[in-house]
Amino acid sequence: MDILKVLNNLCTFQHEEDRIIIQPNKNTLEHLELLLNHFSSDDKWEIKEDGSIVITHRKRKKYNRVYTSGCYDLFHYGHLNIFQKSKEQCNYLIVGVSTDDLILKEKGRLPVIPFEERVKIIESIKYVDEVIPQVNKNKQEVVDNYNIDAISVGDDWKGRYPKVTCDMIYIPYTKSVSSTILKDTLNLTKK
């Protein structure tokens, strides 16, 4: 069934490049839910005060679900850059935050900021849809358990990242900032 034919029978509408403005006929409101179900779940719709309906088509993104992970101890602009660039390519961004135990095991020291506080910081970022604990370095397990389409990392990981069955997104490394540089500047690293 062609949605435009349905719209012509039920209302007057104006179709623009990225949205449709619908002015329902008197009898159309009872069919509103049926009508809106024909649009993609990626489309956003709202009913205006005058009874018109505005449906905005969201641009399709390359991936549905993308995963990225890290310690995020001393969160900085480079981390934010990876989240922003990752979200530009997906509908749903999942971020794994390393637990205190994993950081202690991998780096031999505890993080400056405790796990629960790092999670709250990451959850507050508008690009992030879900935060999960990273309890180990098994990326394939995350791909399988969370239906991940791609993993995003800094391009400094190119050729060094563990093999996974999903696509890899390599984001240009943000020069001049890193947690290590910040810790060295603040004298937080062991000499």
* Average pLDDT per consecutive 10 residues, the chain (191 residues; last block may be shorter): 57 64 62 54 67 67 93 85 94 96 94 94 95 96 96 91 94 70 58 48
Residues 67 and 136 in one domain: yes
* Residue 191 belongs to a domain: no
Residues 158 and 81 in one domain: yes
* Residue 105 belongs to a domain: yes
Instruction: Residue 133: name the closest of 111, 118, 151, 148 by CA.
Output: 118
Count of structural domains within the chain: 2
Residues 78 and 129 in one domain: yes
Largest CA-CA distance found in the chain, in angstroms, rounded: 76
Dihedral sign, Cα of residue 76, residue 80, residue 81, residue 82: positive
- What is the pLDDT at residue 73? 87
- What is the pLDDT at residue 75? 83
Residues 85 and 165 in one domain: yes
pTM of the model: 0.67
Instruction: Residue 119: name the closest of 108, 134, 109, 136 by CA.
Output: 134
* Residue 159 belongs to a domain: yes
The three-state secondary structure class of 170 is: strand
Residues 41 and 97 in one domain: no
Measured in whole angstroms, how far is the alpha carbon of residue 14 from the centre of its chain? 32
- What is the pLDDT at residue 174? 72
Q: What CATH code is carried by the domain that includes residue 144?
A: 3.40.50.620
Residue 21: its H or E element: strand 19-24
- What is the pLDDT at residue 1? 42
Residues 74 and 150 in one domain: yes
Host domain of residue 14 = 3-56
* Residue 190 belongs to a domain: no
User: What's the rounded Cα separation, in Å, for the pair 170 and 104?
Assistant: 27
User: What's the rounded Cα separation, in Å, for the pair 160 and 98?
Assistant: 19
Residues 120 and 169 in one domain: yes
Residues 50 and 69 in one domain: no
DSSP state of 155: G
Q: Please, is 83 exposed, middle or buried when counting C-beta atoms within 10 Å of its C-beta (0-12, 13-18, 19+)? A: buried
